[in-house]
Amino acid sequence: MSPELKLRTAAALLAFAALAGCSSSPVRDRAASERPPVLLSSDALELPDDCAVAPGTVYRTQYLVGEGGNVEQVVSAEGPPCVQSALARWVSTFRYAQGAAPGESTVDWMVTVAQK
């Protein structure tokens, strides 16, 4: 093998090793942090009997999931006040598996009506 070919082969192997070492760890770390948190439990949603909700209307609630799996900063800004407070109370009961990276989450809730 000529010295020039040896040099090219060594350079290619060095570049490949450097790229392999740089790309494998961040990809695994990014994939782990992109996994959604795992919901372990929640209470039932309870709306007051006199709370009027519009079938087919989406009511959105946003919140943060903390490292310990707890829910923080619940904001339910859509719909009548009775819907907002019921959704905020319900979402506050969500418990997630520990260890997920803290992050924002959203739940959309809608009433549907089925004919009997």
Spatial contact of 110 and 58, defined as CB atoms under 8 Å apart: yes
User: What is the pLDDT, as a whole number, of residue 100?
Assistant: 65
- List all residues 6 or more positions away from 70 whose beta carbon is below 8 Å from its beta carbon: 95, 96
Average pLDDT for the chain: 77
- At 31-84, the pLDDT tens digits run 545 667 888 999 999 999 999 898 899 999 999 998 888 999 999 988 999 999
User: What is the pLDDT, as a whole number, of residue 90?
Assistant: 95
User: What is the pLDDT, as a whole number, of residue 7?
Assistant: 43
pTM: 0.66
User: What is the pLDDT, as a whole number, of residue 71?
Assistant: 92
User: What is the pLDDT, as a whole number, of residue 54?
Assistant: 87
How buried is 14 (Cβ within 10 angstroms: 0-12 exposed, 13-18 middle, 19+ buried)? Answer: exposed
What phi and psi values does residue 90 have, to the nearest 5 degrees?
Answer: -65, -50
User: What is the pLDDT, as a whole number, of residue 115?
Assistant: 81
111 pLDDT band, cuts 50/70/90, is confident
In the 8-state DSSP scheme, what is residue 102? Answer: P
The runs of H, that is alpha helices, within 3-111 are 3-34, 81-92
User: What is the pLDDT, as a whole number, of residue 14?
Assistant: 44
Q: How far apart are CA 66 and CA 23, in angstroms?
A: 29
